[in-house]
Chains A and B, each alone.
Chain A
Amino acid sequence: GQSLEQPSEVTAVEGAIVQINCTYQTSGFYGLSWYQQHDGGAPTFLSYNGLDGLEETGRFSSFLSRSDSYGYLLLQELQMKDSASYFCAVTRNQGGKLIFGQGTELSVKP
């Protein structure tokens, strides 16, 4: 089977940096994705790591270590609008389906 673990809640202040960790256990690991979901909205794609290392997209960066079965999403210069749920998701065996974690609810305080 497969499993993903991420913290259920994280709180940070506006302007700060926050890191959301994700550990996974799965056979045939292919890549790790990150999605953002605001209350009542659709999940939206943020970032993808197929190889070890850091991927940077504006204020968001994502990191993957295959040897540690671990990744993280880094959000910099936090804004109130970043308050949302963040999901990591794994792809296996080059296949199409993504398996999502339970999500981390990020609250950004003024």
Chain B
Amino acid sequence: GAGVSQTPSNKVTEKGKYVELRCDPISGHTALYWYRQSLGQGPEFLIYFQGTGAADDSGLPNDRFFAVRPEGSVSTLKIQRTERGDSAVYLCASSRGLAGPSGELFFGEGSRLTVL
């Protein structure tokens, strides 16, 4: 596809369950980012990958959150033992190289996670 694709678009789960969110970036984009956004707030940085490796995971809130990008393309954000406070829209973005020199990220529509 032409843009960043995220699945599922909506996920409702129960407290304590495990969740996986998938991101398919724009073809050829080497950098991939995960953000989460709560209502009325700006996107909050979680982690970004340059290729297969996590270049900066300083935004992951705790060890329940983990992300992988094994082949340098699709990425999966994994959340263990979900808590109600994890409810948010999880946004994925990609860029051709590092976003620093241009400031431009291409975002997907997000995965809305609701933890009951």
Contact = CB atoms under 8 A, between A and B. Distances in A.
Interface of A: 30-33, 41-45, 48-50, 87, 89, 91, 93-103
B78 to A, nearest CB: 20
Nearest to B99: A96
Given A96-B55, A96-B95, A100-B43, A42 B109 contact: yes
A104 B104 CA distance: 19
Contact of B100 (A30, A43, A45, A87): A30
Interface of B is mostly: loop
Given A96-B100, A98-B45, 15 more contacts: A31-B100, A33-B103, A42-B4, A43-B43, A43-B93, A49-B103, A50-B103, A87-B42, A94-B98, A96-B31, A96-B98, A99-B45, A100-B35, A100-B42, A102-B40
A98 B35 CA distance: 10
A99 B43 CA distance: 8
A103 to B, nearest CB: 5
